[in-house]
Amino acid sequence: MHAVEVRDVRKVYRRYGRRKSFGTLKSALLSGGVLRNLRPDSTFLALDGVSLDVEAGRTVGIIGRNGSGKSSMLKLIAGIGKPTSGTVHVSGRVSALIELGAGFHPEISGRDNVFINGMMLGLSRSEIARRFDDIVAFAELGDFIDEPVKTYSSGMYMRLGFAVAINVDPDVLLVDEVLAVGDEAFTHKCLEKFAEFRRRGKTIVIVTHTLDLVTRFCDEAVWLDGGRLRASGDPKRVVDAYLLEVAGSENRAAPVVVPEPAASPDSNGAGRWGSREAEIEHVELLRADGQSAHVFESGQPVRIRVRVRAPHPLHDFVFGIGIFTADGICCFGTNTQIEGGAPGELSGTGEFTVIIDRLDLVAGAYKLDVAVHRQDGVPYDYHRLLYSFRVASSVKDTGIYRPQHHWTFAGGIAITGPESERRS
Amino acid sequence: MIANLRQVFRYRALISSLVARELKARYRGSVLGFLWTFANPLLLLGIYTFVFTVVMPGSRGGTRLEPYALFLLCGILPWTWFQTSVMESCSVLVAGGNLIRKVLFPAEVLPIVTVLTGLVNFALSLVILAAFLVYYARPVTAGELAWLPVIVFVQLVFTLALSLLLSSLTVHFRDLRDLVANLLTLWFWGTPIIYSLSQAPERFHGLLALNPMTHVMVAYQSVLFLEGPFDDWPALLWLGALSLVLLAIAYFVFDRLRDTLAEEV
In-domain check, residue A189: no
Across A9-20, average pLDDT: 68
Q: Is the model's pLDDT at A129 over the cut of 80?
A: yes
Number of domains in chain A: 1
Q: Is the model's pLDDT at A27 over the cut of 80?
A: no
Name which of A6, A178, A189 is nearest A95 in CA terms: A178
Would you state the pLDDT for residue A264?
A: 43
Residues of A in contact with B17 (CB under 8 A): 112, 115-116, 119, 125
CATH number at residue A334: 2.70.50.60
In-domain check, residue A341: yes
The enclosing H or E element of B74 equals helix B68-95
Q: The domain containing residue A284 runs over which residues?
A: 271-392
Q: Do B175 and A103 touch (CB under 8 A)?
A: no
Q: The domain containing residue B79 runs over which residues?
A: 2-264
The most confident of the ranges A88-97, B41-50, B133-142, B240-249 is B240-249
The most confident of the ranges A139-148, A197-206, A387-396, B78-87 is B78-87
Number of domains in chain B: 1
- pLDDT digits 0-9 by tens, A64-86: 888 888 888 998 898 888 888 89
Across A263-286, average pLDDT: 76
Q: Is the model's pLDDT at B167 over the cut of 90?
A: yes
Across B147-173, average pLDDT: 93
Q: Do A119 and B174 touch (CB under 8 A)?
A: no
Residue in A25, A80, A148 closest to B101 by CB = A80
Would you state the pLDDT for residue A419?
A: 52
Across A156-162, average pLDDT: 86
- pLDDT digits 0-9 by tens, A298-320: 888 999 999 999 988 999 999 99
Q: How confident is the model at residue A203 (pLDDT cuts 50, 70, 90)?
A: very high
Q: Is the model's pLDDT at A62 over the cut of 90?
A: yes
CA pair distance A55, B236, nearest whole angstrom: 58
Structure letter (DSSP) for residue B52: I
Across A145-154, average pLDDT: 86
Q: Does B179 touch chain A (CB under 8 A)?
A: yes
Name which of B158, B148, B132, B140 is nearest B69 in CA terms: B132
Q: How confident is the model at residue B83 (pLDDT cuts 50, 70, 90)?
A: very high
Across A419-423, average pLDDT: 46
Residues 6+ apart with CB under 8 A from A304: A283, A284, A285, A286, A321, A353, A354, A356, A368, A370
Angstroms from A99 CA to nearest CA on chain B: 6
Distance of CA A201 to the CA centre of its chain: 16
pLDDT > 70 fraction of chain B, expressed in percent and rounded: 94
Q: Do A22 and B28 touch (CB under 8 A)?
A: no
The enclosing H or E element of A118 equals helix A110-120
Q: Does B40 touch chain A (CB under 8 A)?
A: no
Q: Mutate one of A80, A94, A164 to test the B interface: name it (highest B CB count within 10 A).
A: A80
Would you state the pLDDT for residue A341?
A: 87
Q: Is the model's pLDDT at B257 over the cut of 50?
A: yes
Q: How confident is the model at residue B87 (pLDDT cuts 50, 70, 90)?
A: very high
Across B233-256, average pLDDT: 92
Q: Is the model's pLDDT at B119 over the cut of 90?
A: yes
Q: Do A24 and B13 touch (CB under 8 A)?
A: no
CA pair distance A126, A93, nearest whole angstrom: 17
Contact B112, B57 (CB under 8 A): no
In-domain check, residue A325: yes
In-domain check, residue A340: yes
In-domain check, residue A217: no
Q: Over chain B, what is the mean pLDDT?
A: 86
Angle among Cα B130, B134, B137 to the nearest 5 degrees reads 135
Would you state the pLDDT for residue A329?
A: 83
Across A243-266, average pLDDT: 57
Q: Does B21 touch chain A (CB under 8 A)?
A: yes
- What one-letter code names the amino acid at A86? G
Residue in A78, A98, A108 closest to B24 by CB = A108
Residues of A in contact with B262 (CB under 8 A): 75, 80-81
Full-prediction pTM beyond 0.80?
no
Q: Is the model's pLDDT at A235 over the cut of 60?
A: yes
Among A27-36, A106-115, A188-197, which is the least confidently predicted range?
A: A27-36
Q: How confident is the model at residue A60 (pLDDT cuts 50, 70, 90)?
A: very high
Would you state the pLDDT for residue B155?
A: 96
Angstroms from A115 CA to nearest CA on chain B: 8
